[in-house]
Amino acid sequence: MSYDSDNIFAKILRGEIPSETLYEDDETYVFMDIMPRADGHCLVIPKTPCRNMLDASDAQLAACLRTVRLMGHAVMKAFGAGGVTVQQFNEDVGGQEVFHLHYHVLPRHEGIKLRPPGQMADFGVLKEQADKIRAALAEMG
C-alpha cells in the first residue's frame, strides 16, 4: 500500500482545504475533526507523508505521540474532562478512512458516550471549541 498525496489530510497540510488549526510544530499538525465524536475531538498528524502506523518511521511516531500527549492535557483542561481517549486506525479493515497517519484525541466525561461517527459539526460551534483549546494551550505555555 502506497501513500496517496491527494488524501484529504495532505490537502489540509498544503492549505488546499481549510481546517481549524489548534497547534503545530516542525513535525506535527493538529486540527479539529469536522465530524466530532466528542466536544473537542481533534486530530494529530505528522507533517511528512505516511499512510498509517504500519509504514510510519520511529521519528514520525515519536513526534505524533509527544503531540498527542500535549493535546490530551489541552483538551482535558479546555473541557474540564476527566480523561482522554486516543484512537488510531490502520487500513480499511482496521477502520481507517483517511490514509494519512492520524491520532484521534477525544476528551471524556463520566457517563458520556462517544457520539456515533459521521455527524457533521456546526462550524460556529467547532470554532468556539477550537478557541477553548487554543486558550488552554496558551495557558499551558
Crossing angle of helices 123-140 and 58-79, in 10° steps, is 100
Rounded Cα distance, 51 and 100, in Å: 4
Report which residue's Cβ sits closest to ligand 5GP: 35
List, in sequence order, every residue forming a beta bridge with 104; answer none if it has no partner: 43, 87
Residue 50 or 110: the one with the smaller Cβ distance to ligand 5GP is 50
CB of 84 vs ligand 5GP, minimal distance in Å: 16
> Among residues 75 and 141, whose Cβ is nearest to ligand 5GP?
75
Nearer to ligand 5GP, 47 or 139 (CB): 47
In the bound complex, what is the minimum distance in angstroms from residue 102's beta carbon to ligand 5GP?
A: 6
- List, in sequence order, every beta strand (DSSP E) within 2-134: 21-24, 28-32, 42-46, 83-87, 103-108
As annotated, the active-site residues are: 102
